[in-house]
């Protein structure tokens, strides 16, 4: 995908009720800069020319992260997310990253079940800590 897909990416995330950091890491300039650094990290699923699925990858050099995975509500339970995760793993392996990770809210049962089906292990003994420079990042 390119930055020309930006508006439809946001629309898809909104349709999927994902929390967007519009002034922070999901702003147009932030996404454009992430795309420039790693064009392969933005994977879209299209029906004709409509974006119906998306995932954004990131890598800290040791682990790969699967972020902002979303499938249009009209296209769910057809295996699209599974395909996007498979593709994500392929792209990360091409960068010599072999540990794939995702942060999932405990209440997101659908997503937890999806990742389990894709072979991911749920770590119940780990608590996620983060610190934000400001509320918008
Ligand atoms: C979670 C989400 C990405 C799944 O997309 P999807 O394309 O419907 O998922 P798939 O069709 O690839 O599902 C593959 C398997 O995962 C499991 N699964 C997926 N969604 C599920 C749900 N809502 N409830 C239970 N199991 C689910 C099932 O085992 C499914 O296989 P099956 O349909 O043969 O039973 C989609 O529901 C979505 O966009 N949700 C809102 C955004 C979100 O929560 N993103 C994840 C952030 S971590």
Q: What is the CATH number of domain 3-117?
A: 3.40.630.30
Q: What is the pLDDT of residue 29?
A: 97
Residues in contact with ligand 1 by the CB-under-6-Å rule are 16, 18, 69-71, 76-82, 102, 104, 108, 110-111, 113-114, 117
Q: SS3 for 70? A: strand
CA of 133 to the centre of ligand 1 (A): 32
Q: What is the pLDDT of residue 46?
A: 98
φ/ψ of 32, rounded to 5, equals -60, -40
Question: What dihedral angle (degrees, nearest 10) is formed by the CA atoms of 87, 102, 76, 24?
Answer: -100
Domain map of the chain by residue range?
A: 3-117
Summary count for the chain: helices (H), strands (E): 4, 4
Share of the chain above pLDDT 70, in %: 100
pLDDT band at residue 107 using 50, 70 and 90 as cut-offs: very high
Q: Which atom of ligand 1 sits closest to the CA of residue 80?
A: 7
Residues 29-39 pLDDT 10s: 999 999 999 99
Answer yes or no: pTM beyond 0.95: yes
Q: Beta strands 50-59 and 42-47: pairing type?
A: antiparallel
């Amino acid at each position: 995908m390119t930055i020309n897909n930006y508006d439809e990416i946001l629309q898809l995330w909104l349709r999927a009720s994902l929390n967007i950091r519009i002034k922070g890491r999901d702003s147009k300039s932030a996404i454009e800069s992430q795309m420039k650094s790693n064009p392969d990290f933005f994977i879209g699923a299209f029906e004709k020319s409509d974006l119906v699925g998306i995932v954004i990858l990131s890598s800290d050099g040791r682990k790969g992260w699967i972020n902002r995975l979303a499938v249009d509500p009209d296209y769910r339970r057809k295996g699209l997310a599974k395909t996007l995760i498979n593709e994500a793993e392929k792209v990360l392996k091409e960068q010599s990253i072999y540990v794939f990770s995702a942060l999932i809210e405990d209440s997101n049962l659908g997503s937890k079940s999806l990742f389990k089906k894709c072979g991911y292990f749920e770590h119940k003994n780990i608590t996620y800590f983060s610190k934000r420079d400001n509320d918008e990042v």
